[in-house]
Amino acid sequence: MFASSVAMPWSDAQAHTTVSIPKANPRAFPANFLWGAATAAYQVEGAVNEDGRGVSIWDTFSRMPGKISQGATGDVADDSYHRYPEDIALMKAIGLHAYRFSIAWPRIFPNGSGEPNEKGIDHYRRFTEALLEAGIKPFCTLYHWDLPQALEDKGGWQNKATAQRFADYAGYTSGKLADLIENWITINEMSTIVDSGFSRGRDAPGLKLGRKALAQIRHHVALAHGLGVQAIRTSCRSSVKVGSAENLRAITPVYNSAEHVEAARKAMVEENAPYLTVMYTGRYTDGYLKKLGADAPVFTPEELKIISSPTDFQGLNVYSASYVRAADTAEGYAMVPYPAAYPKMDSTWLSIGPESLYWVPKLAAETLGICEIYITENGCSTRDVVAADGEVYDTDRVMFLAAYLTQLQRGISEGVPVRGYFVWSLLDNFEWGDGYSTRFGIHYVDYATQKRTPKLSAKFYANLVTRNEI
């Protein structure tokens, strides 16, 4: 709390008495705001051949020559499968309220479906119990890109049957762990699954397909989300909460003027038509279908109803801004490209746009009627090194987080319904195609020894959590 000294003339005798009037801290977050960190199974667990785990598409993809930087794989990663007690201790030292992790589908159903692997369930039960014992609330993602290879061999996400297989897995797994886990996330980043895995070929399974095939895959993945929501509702007690985590097109007005803000509202709906918009409206926009023309996906009214099954919260993964300006076009907006010299972090795709963490949840809530939001990922890559004194001074990451969180607090103070924030990531880890060449963690990992070292950003984050203000 801040105090202000103001002269208040209570009476002639007290004409110039100075009194201290407490004021609310304008930088504070709500008292019940949830602070967390996030990871994903293939990126941190390792132990790919242990306790009955099956092969995933990332096991296969990472072994294809030239696909991953320096030929890296997630075979060991951070060895969190074995070292999770140490990782939970790191969370507790920061004071985290919550931890977002994912379950590896191949650990539960090694062949994608059929006979479940009880050793997989047993592992996640022990892990979740340890989280709860430490006072940390689990947020569980059911699919963070590690599709069982056995399903990929049957067509993977090109095959609509995979959506039902996901629902079977989601229902079984949530039913087994619902007594421990209240918050469930169906799928992480539907758009990345499709665009990077099936369009650009940069992620597993590494394909480059045409527009029609891509549109149909988008529909299958969205359908899997809807079927998964329904399966979780059927398998779990009524108090369980369900949502998804999406790296939506992070629409941000190029600057704050009435015309650009209105253009951004239109863009938020249209640019996110295949995922968030259909999930919250139950229809594909006319603009999206018109743009695809003959390449539009085949779907039924019943499938749209399934995709829009009601959820309890929406996770948003926000890294960079997608700037929009008003334009005299049919859409009423135009995207503004980044100039060549626009500043980036240590990834070519990670342009710096702190104001996105104000505008994205605000516009998503306003245009799609989303009532409860979590920032399920936000963070950055930097070139971290261990200094001579053993510390990691990632002042660039501290700058990034402070700038973004200032904008998030601005939105929350205006009533944007963001209930929590998960930094990406708890640990340096296997960063997909970049392997171990980029670092996103607030803890430095020496991959040769698996030693974890809190970076300056971890100390910044601990201070933020303790004070609950930016």
Catalytic residue set: 189, 377
Residue 121 — φ and ψ, nearest 5°? Answer: -60, -45
How far is Cα of residue 151 from the mean position of the Cα atoms in its chain?
24
End-to-end CA distance of the chain: 13
Measured CA to CA, the distance from residue 380 to residue 425 in angstroms comes to: 9
Residue 95 — φ and ψ, nearest 5°? Answer: 95, 25
Here the tokens at position 450 are 């698996």
Rg of the chain's alpha carbons, rounded to an integer?
A: 23
- Residue of 349, 454, 465, 456 lying closest to 405 (CA atoms): 465
Here the tokens at position 277 are 């918009």
Question: CA angle, 325 as apex, 365 and 297 as ends, to 5°?
Answer: 65
Does residue 235 have a cis peptide bond before it, meaning omega lies within 30 degrees of 0?
no
Q: Give the H/E segment covering residue 252.
A: strand 251-253
- Residue of 304, 325, 318 lying closest to 260 (CA atoms): 325
